[in-house]
Structure 1
């Protein structure tokens, strides 16, 4: 039975991959609806022929890699179970020490190492793709350094979580999911508080915005929005990428508004002010706190479903998966696989909410800056810099896009611009 499970899992992954290859390269239509042709949202009006070709090529491969990545995790966890590797990791841990915490650490290290090796090829392909299309300018040494930092941060975080999780499963087999969630609330908030000052600086250099005249204008916008901001932070990304970005991170006194230096170099002052107004819109609309609340609610539902699914799967296939009990550490791959599946399945819902919030932030920014021309040119430049599809395929939009498409964003501002002109003409003599 174990061989059958492994065989059908591999077969399902191959069929799934072939479907998305066919969908993205042969079936999906990314052309604009007729009514948008020739508008400012039409990429043919602001990209040259070569840029249009590169955008389509890059987006297709990048989207295929996205759809292959999560199911690859699921396949990895299934094979780890049916091939007996999870059981072997536990045996190696038991043979190494009698200290329970160290046993967990050893088991988790082997599982994390095998997962890193299994997913490395797709990550390297993604890195090589971005290099070949000049989105990334990061050296291999710098890239692998970031990957290793990721590995150890994830390992350290997971060691804490897994140790507490299996202690709770052992102590309360029926309600461990609820107690785990209750503990996850302060842990999540604590990690978000640490992110800007402890974790992010491990990857990049952060410093107050060097252009003090621009910072003064940004802080003036913040003052109008009643945002208690004292600094805008700049991050050195030019050594890694040509893409543009700005974001808000952290909570409480550690919250930061961050601009990539690539954004500062490529966009003019009015475009940067529009982006900053957008980020302030998130603050004013309290999107960060709604996001935290939504994440915690989804995690509660996810842990409950995961608990029920684990009990069912182990009762039915425990012998084939070589898992004796739910509270045995060998069940960890099953738990991680179920959580990954639930996150993937819930992504359309979370993306809808995120796109709504991003649209709200766009509307806030255009009302604050009253500069639709620079807002549109900002989105056009973001499209060019990231080789982003203006009108991505439906499944890509549903599962991948947590921001509105550039077609939606530019056409919304165009409508605003037309409305403003109509009002202005109507007010004339």
Structure 2
């Protein structure tokens, strides 16, 4: 096992070096031919210093992102192979004879350990955002959000893990199917309560203060047959200089939300374009399509995890200190496989998401008839959020759920040229 761990660490080091050279030396940020001097050329809306900062920030953020992904997998492997998971299970069983309590205690120790070991990566992301003037958040505020994250995730996941292992113990051969059935109402419930319970734990939400702007947005909503009564703004300026807006929730709890940074830094026409974009997601039912796609992928994923857990337990159970998948100590193996499969499926979800974002852009242009505002919006996103203009192909393929800004500007410019 020590030899296996040493091999994994060496492979991880090689992976990090290859990644570093790829991001910093083997890929350039050259622009496609034919866009020099156009609205898509970053030199027309960014200073040389801003462009350099955007490139440096993107390189470092991408490096941290890709390095952090296998780090959690390695942690789960160590927790299994060195008997840490087995020890946590023994502590939980000693503390209580009730399985629900055992699960809550076991998962607390596991989640605390993983959180502490990955905290340096979270801090590095925060430090990068601070150094590149994206984050305005104080260290105390950041730590408060980290603690809130831990508690919220712990409570939700403790419930999930408890039900998961109750199902595994009751339906060992078909647990993946019953777990999938149970995940459907739980997913919908989380989506429903997120805007009104979870999100307000981090920030204050309130109806848009600018009533004239709200009236114009609601007029757009009326044209799109969206039964909206309020547009919400959230006080993100205490944490970031970045711009954002989004649609969240389902049913009667659906919300269109604007960051106050967006309100402070964009013109009214640009804000109306963003709102029309978010309405496009609502009209085209992208949230529901996303939920359906997630559920279909999760069904296939749970079945694959079931087969792989059986295989790993039969072949390496002794090395991993797992006698059966019914044991709580097998949870790190489940999470390890889940993380790998989630990463493997990210290109598929990314392609779907980028397509939906493009459709929402086109819907917003059709709704507002203002291509100029659309172009300016994307240029401001690059300026204030240090968004990557033209990412390397592998980065786009594995990480991007929105089309790169250069693509978004280019297809809007093509629309303008056809008119």
Shorter-chain TM band: over 0.9
Q: Structure 1 length normalisation: TM-score?
A: 0.97
Q: Is the 8 A contact 1:5 1:82 kept in 2?
A: no
Matched, 1:194 2:189: no
Matched, 1:348 2:340: no
Separation of aligned partners in 1, 2:7 and 2:101: 35
Separation of aligned partners in 1, 2:322 and 2:240: 44
What is the CA distance between 1:212 and its match in structure 2? 0.1
Matched with 2:183 is 184
Matched, 1:256 2:216: no
Separation of aligned partners in 2, 1:9 and 1:117: 21
Matched with 1:232 is 231
**Any idea what the Cα deviations from partners look like across 1:77-117, whole Å, max 9, x if unmatched?**
00111111101111211222222211111111110011001
- Aligned 1:15-414 pairs, distance under 5 A: 15-414=14-413
What is the CA distance between 1:12 and its match in structure 2? 2.0
Matched, 1:416 2:382: no
Mean alpha-carbon deviation: is it higher for 183-192 or for 382-391?
A: 382-391
Matched with 2:4 is 5
Root-mean-square deviation (Å): 0.8
State the SS of the aligned residue for 1:402.
Answer: coil
State the SS of the aligned residue for 1:35.
Answer: coil
State the SS of the aligned residue for 1:359.
Answer: helix
Q: Is the 8 A contact 1:193 1:254 kept in 2?
A: yes
| Paired residues, number | 419
Separation of aligned partners in 1, 2:91 and 2:7: 29
Q: Structure 2 length normalisation: TM-score?
A: 0.99
Matched, 1:14 2:13: yes
Query: Structure 1: 5+ residue runs without aligned partners?
Result: 421-429
Q: Is the 8 A contact 1:17 1:68 kept in 2?
A: yes
Mean alpha-carbon deviation: is it higher for 385-394 or for 206-215?
A: 385-394
Separation of aligned partners in 1, 2:225 and 2:416: 26
Q: Is the 8 A contact 1:196 1:254 kept in 2?
A: yes
Separation of aligned partners in 2, 1:71 and 1:313: 19
What is the CA distance between 1:38 and its match in structure 2? 1.6
